[in-house]
Chains A and B, each alone.
Chain A
Amino acid sequence: MATTTAPRSTTGTASSATARWKGIAAVGVLAVALVVAPLVSSPYINYQLSSIAVFAVAILGLNIVMGYTGQVSLGQSAFLGLGAYIAAYGILHGWPGPLTLLLCAVVPAVVGMLVALAAARLRGLALAMITLALPIVGVPLARRFDEFTGGSQGQVVSWLRAPESIGLANDQWRYYVVVLIAVVAFVLARNLVRGRIGRSFAIVKENEAVALSMGVSPYRTKVLAFTIASLLGGVSGFMYLAIVQYTSPETLVFATSINLVAAMVIGGSASIVGTVLGAVYYVLVPVLAGQVNSSRTALISGAVLLAVLFLLPAGLVSLPRRLARLRSSRGRPPQPPAHPTTSDEAAQPASAPPAATTDQHS
């Protein structure tokens, strides 16, 4: 916890080594927990955990384009839906699973790239408009082209049954498949945002003119961010179909996009850990609110959303930092939280190996 209070101060080699071991230990504990969880939980819990993995990947994509690159996207649900429909089509036509997954990644990525090639010239709200149009146009299209999509009834599939030899129940098997995909996506995304491309995302978000002067093309960077976001959206669609076994035009409605944006901000903009927290929030709050009072789900979820925004404007990921600050500066008035781009750094000691933190500051 010591590193949490002073993420920016110069940490000695000894303490950074301990922090590193702590980080590795945390990842190890997390990995064991992820592997063991479905074996000891009910199918219902496994379904919820799998849902978190699904929406974590969707929010991850959104976070890359919105949190890291600063480009508003209100269309992530369209890519989720597109991925789910491609997966359903592939399964109903007997395509092999890996090929279907590949197509669920590539086709939305190409669509996203084409949209971005036209839209990335636009700034702010014009861009928001174009992304907003994707689910709005997508829903009636999905209803219309019913030979591909099953129309308003949607497509029911039955796949990804656990192989007999493994001895797992279907829900456990599906959990492992989606969590594996999610872990791969997160590891790749984490490396991406920590590297050269991540830095170009950050500078484009900060100031496009400066980016240009540093030889980073804002246009290409934005197109790339959009393409990655769409790719992850499509993959999450594949995962969605894996656990829900059903998709319909409802999968891509605009409201889902809005809720994903809310979940991303709640979790923590421009933060990998925040993305997971956002997904947990996205899945669990409606479930818990429904358990408190099933006819007041919306009211309770909205109130929780507002409360979190009031208390933690930089997202759930800033909670440890916020607590630390309250503890360390009891006399002084609490300062407003730092810019959201820095939220990842503060959260790192909690779960990820902090070796890369020093990397980022150098």
Chain B
Amino acid sequence: MSYFIQVVVDGLSNGAIYAAIALAIVLVYRATGLINFAQGGMAVTATFVAYALTRVGVPVLLALVVAVVFGFLLGALLERGVMRHFEGGDPDTAVVATIALLVVLSGLSAYFFGYEPHPFPSLFPNRTIEVLGVFVSLRSIGTITVLLVVMIALQLLFRSTKLGLAMRAVADNPRSSALSGLPVSRLLMIGWGLAAALGAIAGVLVAPQLFISPGMLDFVLVYALASAILGGLDSPIGAVVAAAFIGVVENLAGAYLDFIGDDLKIAVPFIAVIVILVVRPQGLFGRKVTVRV
């Protein structure tokens, strides 16, 4: 039983990372209707900033804060400088532009830091603590806690601030928002900035475990995409629940099904996702969209 809970908590902690990137994807999707493949690239670039700072002796927490600010600026800058150009055009072209950004950003990270993975200092002590007779790692607990705090903060931002209301309005109907005097383009920049900042948090949290390299988040990006789509792309809560589901199912399958083992465990949540989507095409929490002629 104790082992079971440990596996679940570790799964939740992985799920928290997927959730952060998935939330970032949902954020951009709601604002622009685009799947942002550059999300992983932005997160890794910001994490490399934190890495460079820790190398010169800056404490991890401070490095995290700087990385988050840097991520915000990077996201806003990329929206303004690159993605703005593809707005209103063919969506396929815009999605490929995000792929191009992903390639450029990982190329940039590789330019400065090389492709080989580097160790990254953890925000949390590498210990396990006993909670109600179960040993769980502090890292897992810490990751989950940070992500919960971020989620609550985001929820507050969107629900109880003017900025959040404006961003929701833009996501819902950009044209009407513009007509009612909202600065749509600036709000889109803020959306991208927030997404990249979220990515920075996820990157710094996961880097000690994965070791930092330009391709560090490639796999996480795939999981996050799966979570975002499974949750219904317009639902932040859905994305988080789906991410937790994927993290836990994957870990449980790896731990308990001998046939699955460590190498095949990634297949389990994906097959589950396929089954769920075939039964429920709009995703777990998505709204059903009726197409009218």
Tell me the residues in window 105-140 of chain B with beta carbons closer than 8 Å to chain A beta carbons: 105-108, 110-111
Interface contact tally, CB-CB below 8 A: 135
Pairwise interchain contact B104-A303, C-beta atoms closer than 8 A: yes
Tell me the residues in window 258-288 of chain B with beta carbons closer than 8 Å to chain A beta carbons: 263-264, 266-267, 270-271, 273-274, 277-278, 281-283
Pairwise interchain contact B222-A309, C-beta atoms closer than 8 A: no
Tell me the residues in window 290-326 of chain A with beta carbons closer than 8 Å to chain B beta carbons: 295-303, 305-306, 309-310, 313-314
Pairwise interchain contact A306-B267, C-beta atoms closer than 8 A: no
Pairwise interchain contact A258-B106, C-beta atoms closer than 8 A: no
Assess whether A261 is interfacial by the CB under 8 Å rule. Answer: yes
Pairwise interchain contact B266-A302, C-beta atoms closer than 8 A: no
Q: Could you tell me the dominant secondary structure of chain B's interface residues?
A: helix
Pairwise interchain contact A126-B90, C-beta atoms closer than 8 A: no
Q: Could you tell me the dominant secondary structure of chain A's interface residues?
A: helix
Pairwise interchain contact B99-A130, C-beta atoms closer than 8 A: no
Rounded to whole angstroms, the CA-CA distance of A313 and B94 in the bound complex is: 9
Smallest CB–CB gap between A248 and chain B, Å? 14
Pairwise interchain contact B90-A144, C-beta atoms closer than 8 A: no
Q: Which residues of B contact A314 (CB under 8 A)?
A: 90, 93
| Interface size grouping (class) on chain B | 35 or more
When C-beta atoms are compared, the residue in chain B nearest to A117 turns out to be: B278
Q: Which residues of B contact A261 (CB under 8 A)?
A: 95-96, 99
Pairwise interchain contact B266-A140, C-beta atoms closer than 8 A: yes
Assess whether B233 is interfacial by the CB under 8 Å rule. Answer: yes
Rounded to whole angstroms, the CA-CA distance of A362 and B86 in the bound complex is: 33
Smallest CB–CB gap between A323 and chain B, Å? 19
Q: From B89, B100, B266, B278, name the one whose CB has the most chain A CB atoms within 10 angstroms.
A: B100
Rounded to whole angstroms, the CA-CA distance of A178 and B206 in the bound complex is: 44
With A269-B90, A301-B103 known as contacts, the answer to whether A137 contacts B270 (CB < 8 A) is yes
Smallest CB–CB gap between B283 and chain A, Å? 7
With A122-B278, A123-B281, A208-B291 known as contacts, the answer to whether A298 contacts B103 (CB < 8 A) is yes
Assess whether A121 is interfacial by the CB under 8 Å rule. Answer: yes
Contact of A130 among B108, B214, B266, B274 (CB under 8 A): B274
Assess whether A197 is interfacial by the CB under 8 Å rule. Answer: no
Rounded to whole angstroms, the CA-CA distance of A129 and B92 in the bound complex is: 16
Other 6 A-B pairs with CB < 8 A, given A136-B266, A309-B86: A125-B35, A132-B222, A140-B266, A258-B37, A301-B103, A306-B82
By a beta-carbon cutoff of 8 Å, the part of chain A in contact with chain B is: 66, 118-119, 121-123, 125-126, 128-130, 132-133, 136-137, 140-141, 143-144, 207-210, 254-255, 258, 261-262, 265-266, 269, 295-303, 305-306, 309-310, 313-314, 336, 339-340
